[in-house]
Amino acid sequence: MKYESQSVAKNYFIFAMVLFAGQVVFGLIMGLQYIVGDFLAGYIPFNVARMVHTNLLIVWLLFGFMGASYYLVPEESETELYSPLLARIMFWVFAAAGVATILGYLFVPYSKLAELTFNDLLPTMGREFLEMPTITKIGVVIVVLAFVFNLGMTILRGRKTVINMVLITGLIGLAVFFLFSFYVPDNLILDKFFWWFVIHLWVEGVWELILGAILAFTLIKVTGVDREIIEKWLYMIIALALISGLIGMGHHYFWIGPSEYWLWLGSIFSAIEPIPFFMMVVFAFKMVRERRLEHGNQIALTWALGTAVMAFLGAGVWGFIHTLAPVNYFTHGSQITAAHGHLAFFGAYSMIVMTIISYAMPIMRGRPQGNCLKAQKLERVGFWVMCISMLGITLALTVAGVWQIVLQRLPDSANALSFMTTQEQLHPIFWVRLACGVAFTSGVAIYFTSFFVGDKRGLVVAD
Partner 1 sequence: MADNFTKGMARNIYYGGGVFFFLLLLGLTFDTMLVLPDRDHRENITEAVAKGKHLWEINDCVGCHSIMGEGAYFAPELANVFDRYADSDNDGVGDDEATFEAFLQNWMAIQPLNVPGRRQMPQFNLSKEDVHSLSEFLIWTSRVNDNDWPPNKQG
d(CA 121, CA 101): 18
256 contacts partner 1 (rule: CB under 8 A): yes
26 contacts partner 1 (rule: CB under 8 A): no
Residues 6+ away with beta carbon under 8 Å from 276: 208, 237, 238, 240, 241, 244
User: Min. distance of Cβ 193 from partner 1 in angstroms?
Assistant: 7
d(CA 281, CA 303): 12
The binder of partner 1 chosen from 3, 13, 15, 34 (CB under 8 A) = 34
**For residue 49, how many C-alpha atoms fall within 13 Å in the half-sphere facing its CB?**
21
131 contacts partner 1 (rule: CB under 8 A): yes
User: Min. distance of Cβ 80 from partner 1 in angstroms?
Assistant: 28
User: How many distinct helices (H) and strands (E) make up the chain?
Assistant: 19, 0
Which range touches partner 1 (CB under 8 A), out of 3-11, 77-85, 227-235, 346-354?
Answer: 227-235
86 contacts partner 1 (rule: CB under 8 A): no
The binder of partner 1 chosen from 333, 374, 428, 455 (CB under 8 A) = 333
User: Min. distance of Cβ 434 from partner 1 in angstroms?
Assistant: 14
The binder of partner 1 chosen from 88, 127, 291, 377 (CB under 8 A) = 127
418: which DSSP letter?
P
Cβ distance to partner 1 smaller for residue 48 or 308: 48
Cβ distance to partner 1 smaller for residue 78 or 128: 128
Judged by DSSP in three states, 255 sits in coil
* Residues of span 175-204 touching partner 1 by CB under 8 A: 184, 186-193
d(CA 220, CA 300): 12
32 contacts partner 1 (rule: CB under 8 A): no
116 contacts partner 1 (rule: CB under 8 A): no
Residue 139 · residue 97 · CB < 8 Å:
yes
Residues 6+ away with beta carbon under 8 Å from 289: none
Among the listed residues 119, 257, 125, the one whose alpha carbon sits nearest the alpha carbon of residue 190: 257
Among the listed residues 129, 136, 126, the one whose alpha carbon sits nearest the alpha carbon of residue 98: 136
Cβ distance to partner 1 smaller for residue 241 or 304: 241
405: which DSSP letter?
I
* Residues of span 392-431 touching partner 1 by CB under 8 A: 408-413, 416-420, 422-423
Cβ distance to partner 1 smaller for residue 142 or 162: 162
Cβ distance to partner 1 smaller for residue 120 or 463: 120
Cβ distance to partner 1 smaller for residue 89 or 116: 116
232 contacts partner 1 (rule: CB under 8 A): yes
User: What is the dihedral sign for C-alpha 277, 376, 78, 230?
Assistant: negative
Cβ distance to partner 1 smaller for residue 60 or 269: 269
Which range touches partner 1 (CB under 8 A), out of 19-27, 40-48, 73-81, 454-462?
Answer: 40-48
The binder of partner 1 chosen from 51, 140, 311, 360 (CB under 8 A) = 51
Letter for the amino acid at 117? Answer: T
Most distant CA atoms of the chain, gap in Å: 76
